[in-house]
Structure 1
């Protein structure tokens, strides 16, 4: 999906994202062919590419399914698409923020690779979506903590208390 195949258009790519991957993708704005989706039953965790790579290696060592991963080459960030099982907890979001990880919550917008992205300059798939699978957001947060050397808040309190 990283290269433009004959017949790969924003409309055909959107159709694939919707039918095969159950991603609520839309073309916006139509004249540019940018593909986006609203975060609802799919959330996203955005992080620096080196942390994203370390998390991917950690998940592969655990023999866990990784799910779709986007790369944003110009900003040097990766985005994991995850299930919406993260609690709506400000302390979790603050913890992730300190690790330079952004949580795209329900109501946010996630941009997906489009064949109009000029050869993947803006977005490309590290692991393209092949089905409806997305990993648990909680499992991914645990992997982020592990790879960044952080312990969950409860373990930190127990160590100091």
Structure 2
């Protein structure tokens, strides 16, 4: 992925090539997208690695995945097809997995992050593809049932 080295240029790439309605917080150079058109599921990195492996085993594209380096978490960008079901949120909460709620900010890797090591792409976006949220949740459940943690 050929990314420019300014937040504005990177944001334009995300918007035009990856179909991510991103914006830049100009005071800090953070690039964000509001959950709604795009969704996100965040989990511990170790579980994220298992989910990514299981998706590959099932021949399901993982879509874009962000590593939050300092917190040791991964975020899967998804097609937001999950219902606002309190039981689902509670189930995932017990697994240390969270769904970014509609309207929540999803921080994307920015050139300013490269120096601070906040966020980086595990799987960078190359187009508008994002897997369904339900396929990621089903894979998380599968990994947890099989003891893959």
Q: TM-score range by the shorter chain?
A: over 0.9
TM-score (norm 1): 0.86
Offset of residue 120 of structure 1: 6.1
- Residue by residue, what CA displacement relative to the aligned partner does 1:23-81 show, whole Å, maximum 9, x if unpaired? 111111x0321111111111100000000000000000011111000000100000000
2:114 is the counterpart of 1:118 = yes
- Residue by residue, what CA displacement relative to the aligned partner does 1:8-37 show, whole Å, maximum 9, x if unpaired? 210110000000111111111x03211111
Does the residue aligned with 1:117 lie in a helix, a strand or coil?
A: helix
Number of residue equivalences: 146
Question: Aligned equivalents of 1:97 and 1:119: distance in 2?
Answer: 31
2:63 is the counterpart of 1:67 = yes
Match of 1:19 among 13, 16, 22: 16
Offset of residue 119 of structure 1: 3.4
2:79 is the counterpart of 1:83 = yes
The root-mean-square deviation of aligned C-alpha atoms, in Å, is 1.5
Is there any run of 5+ residues in structure 2 with no aligned partner, and where?
none
Tell whether the 8 Å contact from 2:30 to 2:107 is kept in structure 1 after alignment.
yes
Equivalence map 1:1-161=2 (5 Å) = 7-28=4-25, 30-119=26-115, 121-149=117-145
Tell whether the 8 Å contact from 1:45 to 1:82 is kept in structure 2 after alignment.
yes
Offset of residue 88 of structure 1: 1.1
Does the residue aligned with 2:111 lie in a helix, a strand or coil?
A: coil
Question: Aligned equivalents of 2:116 and 2:54: distance in 1?
Answer: 26
Question: Aligned equivalents of 1:57 and 1:45: distance in 2?
Answer: 16
Q: In structure 2, what is the equivalent of residue 159 of structure 1?
A: none
Is there any run of 5+ residues in structure 1 with no aligned partner, and where?
151-161
Question: Aligned equivalents of 1:15 and 1:118: distance in 2?
Answer: 18
Tell whether the 8 Å contact from 1:44 to 1:82 is kept in structure 2 after alignment.
yes
